[in-house]
Amino acid sequence: MSTLDLMHSLEQLPFAQAISESTWLFPFFETVHVLALTLVVGSVAMMDLRLLGIGSRDRTITELTRSVLPWTWAAFGIAAICGLLLFSSKAATYYVNIPFRIKIVCLLFAGVNMLVFHFVTARNVAAWDSGRTPSAARVAGVVSLSLWVVIVATGRWIGFTT
């Protein structure tokens, strides 16, 4: 069974068919997906701008992380669930769509960038928590901001290419 066959099978699942056949389920999940995405992008950008020394300079990295990251994860969970539901309704179409593929690759890179920052760069965060961030942290901020701009752009592009 090829991956494309698997995508066609996914489209046959009851919930995927329900979304595909309904007039309002797709726009509903799309709206929730966009709303959750705005919170993910906005909160990630707050962290990234702090790492770059542009925003929230009066707050320490750890304090900002503690107050922002729970919202990022909650919103990401909602965006991911709605995204999967939307994907299931036209799985084969999205699977072969280039902007969709770029979006998923960028999401994976954003995840890796975050893990590297969290487990490698931020291990000695106490040394620069309230001051100027090291270049590795600023690079993580630029990479993250760039990837999320591409994620939003390719996400929007999917609607013009499917």
Partner 1 sequence: MIQAFSEWLAATSLSRLFADLGWFVPTVQTIHILAIAAVVTLLSMLNFRLLRITRSGPSLQSLAAGYVPWVWRSLVILLVSGILLTMTEPSRELMNNAFRLKMLLVLVLTVLTVILRSTLRHDPEYWTTTPQRRLLGGTIAAVSLILCVSIVAAGRLIAYV
The residues of the shown chain that bind partner 1, judged by CB under 8 A, are: 27, 30-31, 34-35, 37-39, 41-43, 45-46, 55-56, 58-59, 63-64, 66-68, 71, 149, 152-153, 156-157, 159-160
- 46: Cβ–Cβ under 8 A, 6 or more apart, which residues? 55, 56, 64, 68
Give the residue with the Cβ less far from partner 1, 5 or 63. Answer: 63
Q: Supply the minimum distance, in Å, between the C-beta of residue 34 and partner 1.
A: 6
Q: Supply the minimum distance, in Å, between the C-beta of residue 24 and partner 1.
A: 8
Is 33 within 8 Å of 25 (Cβ atoms)? no
Is 11 within 8 Å of 108 (Cβ atoms)? no
d(CA 13, CA 134): 49
Give the residue with the Cβ less far from partner 1, 59 or 138. Answer: 59
Which amino acid is it at 96? Answer: V
Q: Supply the minimum distance, in Å, between the C-beta of residue 63 and partner 1.
A: 6
Residue 126 carries which DSSP code?
G
d(CA 16, CA 88): 5
Give the residue with the Cβ less far from partner 1, 41 or 140. Answer: 41
Give the residue with the Cβ less far from partner 1, 8 or 66. Answer: 66
